[in-house]
Amino acid sequence: MPRYEFRCRACGDTFEVNRPMAEAGRPATCPQGHADTVKLLSTVAVTGRGGSAPSGGIPSGGGCCGGSCGC
């Protein structure tokens, strides 16, 4: 069963809800009882930022410099 992450706009808490995909768009209630919640994007979609791999095409992982210094 997919897991969805919600954030409560009343208390700022984030919580996860396991529910079938058919109910993914339904509002969730905060564990504190607040109904003003928003569904967050999946954690997979959030990792797009941070710039760990510049667009220069340098392979990541391996040596300290990608292998060009022989280390």
The region that residue 21 occupies, defined by phi over 0 for left and psi between -120 and 50 for alpha, beta otherwise, is alpha
| 17 is an interface residue for Zn ion by CB under 5 A | no
From the list 4-12, 18-26, 48-56, 61-69, the region that binds Zn ion by CB under 5 A is 4-12
* Neighbouring residues of 51: CB distance < 8 A, sequence distance ≥ 6: none
Closest separation in Å from C-beta 58 to Zn ion: 44
Beta carbon nearer to Zn ion, 8 or 17: 8
Pick from 36, 47, 37: nearest CA to 16? 37
By CB under 5 A, what part of segment 25-54 binds Zn ion? 30, 32, 34
